[in-house]
Structure formats: structure tokens, C-alpha cells
Amino acid sequence: MRAKRTRRTKLSKVIIGVAFVLIAAVIIRISVDGTSADAQTETKPSATPTVTPAATPTTTSDTKADKEPPKITGVKNVTVFTGDRVSYKTGVTVVDNHDTNVALVVDTSAVNLKKVGVYKIAYTAKDAAGNVAQAEATVTVKVKPASPLNEDELNQLADTVLAKIITEDMTEVDKLWAIFKWTKYNIGYIDSSSHDDWRKGALQGFKQGTGDCFVYYSTAKILMERSGFETQTVIRDKGRKSKHFWSLVKVEDTWYHFDTTPTIRKNTTFLLTDEELALFNNEFKNYYLFDKTKHPATPTKPLEERSKYL
């Protein structure tokens, strides 16, 4: 009897032990399955991955397709006097068929502006695909003359130019456009000139063919006045470290701004109104800031005849 009870007791313990084992296995399985499910949820890749546009690089195919080098325009030979400064990049632009911002490098290591001679300068532009454009020009350095001002010579130089560009059948706007073009494209910009006498500036424009805004203004002034136009000199008032010079010219009893100094936008400074000049200031801060109380106001509307030249 006791033996039977002993066997029953042992059997109960075995059953209880097996039950504990089964329960533990179930708990572990649930725990493991839950962790696995979470891990799968976190690591499973999205069917449509999101790519940030700003981080998208230029494709290799686009780079390989770009075999055209940039184009460098506006490079000119320059003549200066000893001691002058030269703004080598003024008027020079780089355009590329693929890239929007291609750096322009100018090698002026061979130039000595203190010594008379002819020196080479090299322009290089390289786009993202490795295409390279090159251009060369020369800088001729001459001895600065110390000759006195000769007004008769100045008038003769102006009249010689006018005889080539002005005809009797031209309107006033036509004549001014011819003067604007000749001055703008026959003088090379260098960041140096004396500002003490506009007549000297005009002589420099005709004889040397280089100068800063004062030379452009002075040369255009003598050409306009020798053609019968009335002009006024306008000087940048404040807002920038350097001065800037341009003209007001009277066209059929109304006044317009006339500036032949090279700018980023070609021909946009031909016969401007005060309002148009103000718009230019919005893009190039205070470039045409001047004292309006010293000059006549322009019309509020742009000159219609001017549009055919822009």
C-alpha cells in the first residue's frame, strides 16, 4: 500500500515538473517571437525609399555626356602706363552648357606694371566634368606721358570718331546709341585714372583706350557735346567706398541717364529713367545712389525709341 502511494507521489512530481517545463518553453517562445517581430519591423526596408533632392549627386551619365568646355568671352589686350592698376576680370564672362558657376582663374604672374614691356596673361576656366577653356591676352605697359592738356587735340580726336559713327539721317537716340556703343566697346576697363579733369580722362580714352568709369564718362561726354547734346555730370553720392561717374543727357527736352562703363548686363544703362536706375540699385546696392536735388528729374516712363537697341 505504501509502495503504491510512493509511486503515485513520484508520478505526480514528474507530471508537475513536465508542466513547469512546458510552461517555461511557451513563455520563452512568446518572448523570442515578440523580439523577432519587433526587429523585423524596424529593419525591413521601405518598398519606396525616400531620397532628399539636395543630396542627389550629379549622375555619372550626365558628367560623361558633358564634353563641351566653357566659353570665355570679353578677353581683350590692355595698354596701361607704368604704375597703373589693372582689373583683369572686368568685362570677362564664362558660360558653360552644363554648370552654372564656373570659376575663372587669371594668371598674371608674368606681368610687371612698374616696368615698360609687353606681358602675357592667361585665362582658364574648368567645369565640373573637367573640360578646360583657355584664353590669352597681352598687357602693354608704357611710360606715362607728362604732356600738358591740348583741347584742340581733344576736339579733333572726338570729331574724328564722330565722323565715322554719325550720319545726318540719324535721330537723336540713334546718335546717342552710336556714341554709347563706340565708347563702351573701344575702351578697356582698368581700375585707375586721375579724376581731377574730365578732359584728361577723355584724352586717355581716345589715346590710351583704357581707364576706369571716369574715363568712360569723360570720353562719352566730349562725344555727346561735340554732337550738340547738353549733358550733366552725375557722381555717386554715398553708399560705396569708391566714386562712380556717369552723365545725364538731354533728349528732345527731357533728361536720361547715360553710363558707358561696362556692367554685368550689357546695354542696360542706355538712357535710363530715375525709376529704372532705382531698380538697378535694388540688385546692386547703392550703385547709382546720387543727390537728386542737384539734377533735373527724368520722365517716369522709359523712352520708347530706346527699346530697339536693348
pLDDT averages per 10-residue partition of the chain, 310 residues: 50 54 49 40 37 38 74 92 85 89 93 94 93 95 78 95 97 97 94 84 94 96 97 86 91 95 81 92 84 93 89
Longest Cα–Cα distance in the chain: 151
Distance CA 125, CA 120 (A): 17
Distance CA 247, CA 218 (A): 9
Q: What is the pLDDT of residue 268?
A: 81
Q: Is 2 helix (H, G, I), strand (E, B) or coil?
A: helix
Cell of 133: 577653356
Each domain of the chain, given as residue ranges in start order, spans 67-142, 151-309
Q: How far is CA 219 from the centre of its chain?
A: 26
67-142 belongs to CATH 1.10.10.10 = no
Distance CA 201, CA 211 (A): 8
Total residues belonging to the chain: 310
pTM over 0.75: no
The CATH class, in words, for 151-309 is alpha beta
245 has which bridge partners?
A: 235
